[in-house]
Structure 1
Amino acid sequence: MSKVELESRLESLTDEINFLRQLYEEELQELQAQVSDTAVVVSMDNSRQLDMAGVLADVRAQYEDIASRSRAEAEGLYQVKYEELKTAAGKQGDDLRQTRSQIQELNRRIQRIQAEIEALKNQVWGPTRLEIWNHTPCPSPTYPPAPSGNPHTGFLRIPWDVIWETGGESDGLEMGVFWGAGNTGGKRGVKNIGI
Structure 2
Amino acid sequence: MKTPEQLLRESEDRLNKALSDYEAPPSSTLAREFYELRVQAAIFNYDVSFDVVSIWHHEPAGFAEKVALKGLIHKLYEYDQLLSKHLVARMLALARTRGVVIESADIKAERKKWKEQLLQLQHWSDLRNQATGHYGRDIATQVALLKQVRREEVMNVVAAFLSFNIAVLKVLENAGRAR
Fold similarity call, TM over 0.5 = no
Bigger fraction of residues in strand? 1
Bigger fraction of residues in helix? 2
Q: Which has the higher contact order (CA 8 A, sep 6+)?
A: 2
